[in-house]
Structures are given as structure tokens and as C-alpha cells.
Amino acid sequence: MTQIPEQQFVHKVPVQCTLNGQSTEFLAAPYLSLLEILRETLGLTGTKEGCNDGNCGACTVNVDGRIVDSCLMLGVEAQGKNIETIEGVAPAGGLHPLQQAFLEEAALQCGICTPGFLVSAKALLEAEPNADEHRIRLWLAGNLCRCTGYDKIIRAVEKAREEMK
Amino acid sequence: MHPYQYIPATNITEAVSALARYGNRARILAGGTDLLVQLRGERYELDAVVDAKAIPELVELTLDGGLTIGAAVPCYQVYENLAIAAAFPGIIDAASLIGGIQIQSRASLGGNLCNSTPSADGICPLIVHSGVVTITGVDGTRTMPVEEFSTGPGRNALGNGEMLISINLPKPAAHFGAAYQRFIPRNEMDIAVVGVASAITLDATGQKVESARIALASVGPTPIFAKQASEFLAGQTATEETFAKAGAIASTEATPISDMRGTIKQRHHLVEVLTRRTLVQAVRRARGNA
Ligand SMILES: Cc1cc2nc3c(=O)[nH]c(=O)nc-3n(C[C@H](O)[C@H](O)[C@H](O)COP(=O)(O)OP(=O)(O)OC[C@H]3O[C@@H](n4cnc5c(N)ncnc54)[C@H](O)[C@@H]3O)c2cc1C
Ligand code: FES
Ligand code: FES
């Protein structure tokens, strides 16, 4: 969480956006990242903080159909946007094919990177249902995993790709 | 971290007057992939960031022979446009290798230019495509070639209260090709040890060089327009031998330092190799068989 000395107060800004399909309003201190707003203000802790500087992709969310690192976007920039986080990935009462495949292929260990991988991979497979292994690896280059060695993740995404066809 | 205001500007006048009001205590926010990292890292303090992404001129992307790239247009919009990719191959090489997909959703070539690191991947391709920047401040608007924009590491020609509006690239001549390559230890998501952009215009036979432009990244305090190597190529036959000679000349125009990423010697060598390779690739593209 960002530490701000209290005497340097700047006013919070009202923000309205669509979050996982629901119209959502919140007040954001302008210097807070979308990641901080999601986790601290909105209590959506599925999105993870890894590096907090754009390198690891653990904080990946989907904004207007494009994946972005939520640590490198301000919460106030969410105004008017359509945002999907990991909490919006699973259908009610079930798992998304990607989530199911990650479980079956043991594509996670500590799990910190997993929400980011799922949000990234979902955006790829929705845009390119036939993405091959090379394309998947390239697309996921902005998501780092320190546990699995990647092969299991790639296998899980390929399995989900077949499921989603 | 020092707290700052968020000013969403909807037109240039609003943005410029906010910049003028705050002096050096405000900066433009484009994709934020440099700015937010630097603010969080307390490299400097700001009282306000001025979001430029709702200013029409800054998100304009127009291909009308020439190409106008608004300063805040994210990389993916540039490389996903097939017509732009065909006409401006050097720009596409850069836009598609800045960061990963998440970064490309937000990062702009304007931000790359204004951040003004010598290792920036976007600047050299803009130089060899003969890019011209449009800058506006409270006192009006001016233009300058991209190669004159960077003035030192993290420094550029923008005066107080000035902002970059767009980058304009002229329509490439017939038989034109360009390419950008960088050397990095990994395959993606890394900072260039050396980067080279080359652009070449061939004569109608496709054998002779009419003109060429070469620019070097990460081998000096700013991206370097390799004037002598570029001029050497005019009138030469387009062979790999000629391009190797151009590489040797370009290497003499580089002024690298040794750091954790590479030594002076390695960087001079890489300039030679990458100059030759980018010229070969540019020629292939110029001949239409990339
Ligand atoms: C994980 C990661 C990987 C990266 N990989 C690469 C890479 O491979 N190659 C590379 O070159 N860079 C890379 N970068 C750096 C960065 O993404 C690029 O420099 C990017 O192009 C910056 O654009 P932006 O729109 O995000 O700029 P911002 O961060 O919004 O702005 C950058 C600077 O320029 C100023 N600025 C922006 N627009 C204007 C304007 N219109 N007028 C005046 N000033 C302006 C800002 O105030 C700020 O000082 C990477 C960054 C990260 C976090
Ligand atoms: S936490 Fe955002 S990229 Fe690592
Ligand atoms: S499972 Fe631990 S970082 Fe990927």
C-alpha cells in the first residue's frame, strides 16, 4: 500500500466504471494504482501484486478488451471503462475452462502468478481461438512465474483452447 | 510517495495551461509505463499528472500516405494496423517489441520519445523514417526532426509548459524499406544493449542505394543519427559487403560506455553487426520480399 504523509492530502475523485459486468462507483485518491483500488478499496484481492512495476503481470486485468498491468494504471483512469478481473472469469457456480485446465495440468504452485496468467490467456483465446504454442508463449511473455517453469502453464492453455472451441 | 492530483485534459489548451501552472511539478501522463514506475520509485515528485489520452490530437492515428501518430497512441494500435505495418516497417518492429502485451496496451511511442532514454527502442526507428515532432506550449507550436529531440539521458527539447502533440512521418519513397533490431540477453521484455534502425531507398533496379538513414540506440547519451554511415551508402551497390562497411563507419559514430549490460568493445561490435543485419532486412523489405 502506498504510504502518503497525511498533511499532503489531495482530494479523492469519484470514479464510475463497469467492473466484472456490474456498474461500480468508488472514491479514489488520484495517485493510487488500479491495483491498490481493487485490493484495498474494493476488496477484490484476487488480483495479485508481484513486482509493482510492470514486469511480472501478476496484476493483469482486462480493460476495454485489452490486458493491462493494473499496477501501472491509476484507479482514476478506470472512469468510464469496462474492467474484468480474475473474479469475473469464472461463470456462476463453475470454473472457466482455463481454470479447470490449470488444475488438471498442475499449472500452479504458489499461485501468486495464476490470476494474471488466467486473465491474460483468456484475452488471447477469446481473440485468437487457434493461437499456437509459439503465439501463447509470446503473448504470456509479460507474465512471470517463479515456480512452474512455464511448460505446465502452456500445456494448460493449449488444453483450454481445445475445450473452448 | 508524494501525493499528486490527476488532471484529465480534454484539449491541448487545457493540458498546456495545466503544465504552465504547475511548472516542473506536473507532467503529461500517456501510458504511464515509465511515469508511474518513476513516481513510485521516487525518482522525482510531482503535484499533478495531466492525462493526455482524452485529447483528440494525441490519440490520432492517420495514414494518408504519410503517417501521423498522436503522442499518446498505444503501441498495439500502431502494429495491429496492417496498412501501417506495410508502409512503415521500422516503426512496427519497435512498437511490437516494447515490453510485453500488457505494456503495449498502454505504452506510446510519444512516451518513449519524451522519456528520452538512450536505450529507447522507439526513437531510432522514428529517426530513420524521417520523423518530425510537433510540440505545443503556451507560446505556440513548433516542429523539429526527431533526431534533434533528445538532448541527454532523460532530457529533451521540451521547454517548461511544452508538450509533444504528435509525430509525423513522411510518405516513404518507392523501393523503401526499414528495420529495427536490438540485442538483448533474453528474447523479450528487456532493455537494449545496442539497438540499430536502418532505412534504405533503392533505385528502380533495386540494386543501387539512393539514400539511407541509420540510427543507433544505447551507445551514447542520446539515440544517435549515424550521419556518416548514412551518407556513405548513397550511390553504393546494395550488397552485404557495402553494408558491412557502413556498419564499420556507424561503429565510429557510436560513443558507448561500459555498464552492467555490456562493455564498450562489445557495443562497438554490436553496432557493426546490427547495422549490417538491419540494412539487409531493410533491403529485403524494399524489394518487397520481406
Ligand atoms: C515491463 C516494462 C517493459 C518495458 N520494455 C521496454 C522496451 O522493451 N523498450 C523500450 O524502449 N521501453 C520499454 N519500457 C519503457 C516504457 O514502456 C516505454 O518507454 C513507453 O514507450 C513509454 O510510453 P508511455 O506512454 O507509457 O509513457 P509515460 O510513462 O506516460 O510517459 C513517459 C514520460 O514522457 C512524458 N510524456 C509522455 N507523453 C508526453 C507528451 N505528449 N508530451 C510531453 N511529455 C510526455 C511523461 O511525462 C513521462 O515523463 C518498458 C517498461 C516496462 C514497465
Ligand atoms: S505487480 Fe503489476 S506487473 Fe508486477
Ligand atoms: S505458481 Fe508461483 S509464481 Fe507461478
Read off the CATH number of the domain in which A40 is found.
3.10.20.30
Answer yes or no: is pLDDT of B289 > 70.
no
Q: What's the pLDDT score for residue B260?
A: 86
Query: Structural domain of residue A106, as residue ranges?
Result: 97-164
Of A4, A68, A143, the CB nearest to B1: A4
Least confident of B21-25, B34-38, B188-192, B259-263: B188-192
**More confident: B290 or B226:** B226
Domain co-membership, B34 together with B60 = no
Domain co-membership, A36 together with A55 = yes
Read off the CATH number of the domain in which A149 is found.
1.10.150.120
Find the residue in B nearest to A59 (Cα): B102
CB contact under 8 A, B105 and A63: yes
Distance from CA of B35 to the nearest CA of A (A): 9
Mean pLDDT of B222-247: 98
Domain co-membership, A64 together with A137 = no
What is the A48 CA–ligand 2 centroid distance (Å)? 8
Task: Write down the residue that cell numbers 480474475 correspond to.
Answer: A86
Read off the CATH number of the domain in which B96 is found.
3.30.465.10
Q: What's the pLDDT score for residue A7?
A: 46
A50 half-sphere exposure, CB direction, 13 A CA radius: 21
Q: Which of B34, B77, B96, B124 for mutating ligand 1's site (highest number of atoms within 8 Å of CB)?
A: B34
Distance from CA of A48 to the nearest CA of B (A): 15
CB contact under 8 A, B187 and A141: yes
Last residue within a domain, chosen from B169, B191, B212: B169
State the CB neighbour count (10 A cutoff) for residue B205: 8
CB contact under 8 A, B103 and A3: no
Domain co-membership, A42 together with A104 = no
CB contact under 8 A, A68 and B29: no
**Residue A73 contacts B where some CB pair is shorter than 8 Å:** yes
Nearest CA to ligand 2 atom 3: A54
Model ipTM?
0.94
What is the count of structural domains for chain A?
2
Domain co-membership, B147 together with B88 = yes
Domain co-membership, A135 together with A152 = yes
Domain co-membership, B218 together with B242 = yes
**Residue A80 contacts B where some CB pair is shorter than 8 Å:** no
Find the residue in A nearest to B186 (Cα): A141
What is the count of structural domains for chain B?
3
Paired strand residues for B34: none
CB pairs under 8 A between A and B: 88
Query: Structural domain of residue B32, as residue ranges?
Result: 5-51
Domain co-membership, A12 together with A83 = yes
Mean pLDDT of B3-10: 97
Ligand nearest to the CA of B105: 1
Last residue within a domain, chosen from A24, A54, A88: A88
Q: What's the pLDDT score for residue A1?
A: 52
Q: Which of B114, B119, B167, B184 for mutating ligand 1's site (highest number of atoms within 8 Å of CB)?
A: B114
**Residue A35 contacts B where some CB pair is shorter than 8 Å:** no
**Residue A16 contacts B where some CB pair is shorter than 8 Å:** no
Domain co-membership, A10 together with A74 = yes
Q: Please report, as a single letter, which amino acid is at residue A162.
A: E
Read off the CATH number of the domain in which B249 is found.
3.30.390.50
Answer yes or no: is pLDDT of B9 > 50.
yes
B97, B102, B106, B184: best to mutate for the A interface, most A CBs within 10 A: B102
Q: Does any ligand 1 atom lie closer than 6 A to the CB of residue B93?
A: no
**Cα separation of B91 and B84, whole Å?**
9
Of B6, B39, B102, the CB nearest to A76: B6
Q: Does any ligand 1 atom lie closer than 6 A to the CB of residue B9?
A: no
On whether residue A75 sits in a domain, the answer given is yes
Last residue within a domain, chosen from A88, A117, A143: A88
Q: Please report, as a single letter, which amino acid is at residue B105.
A: S
Domain co-membership, B155 together with B132 = yes
Would you say B137 and B16 are in contact if contact means Cβ atoms under 8 Å apart? yes
DSSP string, A104-122: HTT--SS-SSHHHHHHHHH
pLDDT band at residue B261 using 50, 70 and 90 as cut-offs: confident
The backbone torsions φ and ψ at residue A61, rounded to the nearest 5 degrees and listed phi first, read -130, 165
Least confident of A64-73, B92-101, B178-187, B241-250: B178-187
Mean pLDDT of B47-66: 97
Q: Which of A48, A55, A59, A114 for mutating ligand 3's site (highest number of atoms within 8 Å of CB)?
A: A114
pLDDT in tens, B139-182: 999 999 999 999 999 999 999 999 999 999 999 999 999 999 99
Strand duo B155-156 + B61-64: pairing: unpaired
pLDDT in tens, B175-230: 999 999 999 887 656 789 999 999 999 999 999 999 999 999 999 999 999 999 99
Q: What is the percent of chain B where pLDDT is above 90?
A: 94
**Per-residue DSSP letter, A33:** B
What is the A147 CA–ligand 3 centroid distance (Å)? 4
Domain co-membership, A77 together with A11 = yes
B4 half-sphere exposure, CB direction, 13 A CA radius: 30
Would you say B110 and B30 are in contact if contact means Cβ atoms under 8 Å apart? yes
pLDDT in tens, B118-128: 999 999 999 99
Domain co-membership, A146 together with A115 = yes
Domain co-membership, B60 together with B47 = no
On whether residue A1 sits in a domain, the answer given is no
Domain co-membership, B129 together with B113 = yes
B3 contacts in A (CB within 8 Å)? 4, 8-10, 29-31
Q: What secondary structure, in 3-state letters, does B78-115 show?
A: HHCCHHHHHHCHHHHHHHCCCCCHHHHCCCEHHHHHHH
Q: What's the pLDDT score for residue A31?
A: 97
Rounded to two decimals, what is the model's pTM?
A: 0.96
**More confident: B191 or A138:** A138
Domain co-membership, B64 together with B163 = yes
Of B3, B40, B76, the CB nearest to A52: B40
